[in-house]
């Protein structure tokens, strides 16, 4: 048949129910995670988030950007991990929607903006799909609250 016993055992291990519980397995569906990240559609909505939360993280993205699409599920997981009403909110804003009112030009996507206690933190901008740098920045800023 061309397959040896070890090949079949490897296949069976991959298909076993416990394989889904492995440390690298996704914790929830991508679609569900993405649906829970608030999407900013107006300057007023952005301002309300900034005024009502101590830390605000905004993912400035576009629909046509490959790295934006690639990091979106990880951003959604971070949102589930760190978002807490009144303390921290993570949202998304499509720069092609041209809501305007950005504190600094968005020169590349994805670009993550941070606001703490109502103030834009221009020295904390993360540009590019570096989820590790994004999470480190979030943790550092939460420690400062």
Distance CA 79, CA 61 (A): 15
Residue 70: CB atoms within 10 A of its CB come to 12
Cα 103 from Cα 32, distance rounded (Å): 30
Domain extents in the chain: 28-144
Q: Residue 60 in contact with residue 106, Cβ under 8 Å?
A: yes
Per-residue confidence (pLDDT) for residue 102, from 0 to 100: 77
pLDDT of residue 95: 93
Q: How far apart are CA 41 and CA 137, in angstroms?
A: 25
Task: Residues 28-144: name the CATH superfamily.
Answer: Glutaredoxin (3.40.30.10)
Rg, C-alpha atoms of the chain: 19
Q: State the catalytic residue, choosing from 65, 71, 88, 111.
A: 65
Residue 86, SS3 per DSSP? coil
pLDDT tens track, the chain, 145 positions: 444 443 333 333 333 333 333 333 334 445 445 558 999 999 999 999 999 999 999 999 999 999 999 999 999 999 999 999 999 999 999 999 988 887 777 889 999 999 999 999 999 999 999 999 999 999 999 999 9
Q: State whether residue 26 is helix, strand or coil.
A: coil
Q: Are 126 and 134 in contact (CB under 8 A)?
A: yes
Active site residue 111: no
Return the closest-CA partner of residue 49 out of 80, 88, 21.
88
Q: What is the pTM of this model?
A: 0.76
* Catalytic status, residue 68: yes
């Amino acid at each position: 048949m061309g397959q040896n016993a070890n090949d079949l055992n490897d296949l069976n291990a991959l298909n076993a129910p416990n394989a889904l519980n492995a440390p690298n397995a996704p914790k929830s569906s991508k679609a569900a995670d993405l649906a829970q990240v608030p999407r900013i559609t107006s300057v007023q909505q952005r301002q309300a988030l900034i005024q009502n939360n101590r830390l605000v993280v905004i993912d400035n993205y576009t629909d046509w950007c490959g790295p934006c699409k690639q990091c979106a599920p990880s951003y959604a997981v971070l949102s589930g991990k760190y978002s807490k009403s009144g303390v921290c909110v993570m949202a998304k804003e499509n720069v092609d929607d041209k809501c305007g009112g950005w504190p600094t030009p968005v020169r590349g996507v994805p670009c993550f903006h941070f606001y703490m206690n109502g103030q834009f933190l221009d020295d904390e901008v993360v540009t590019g799909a570096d989820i590790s740098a994004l999470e480190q920045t979030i943790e550092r800023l939460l420690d400062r609250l």
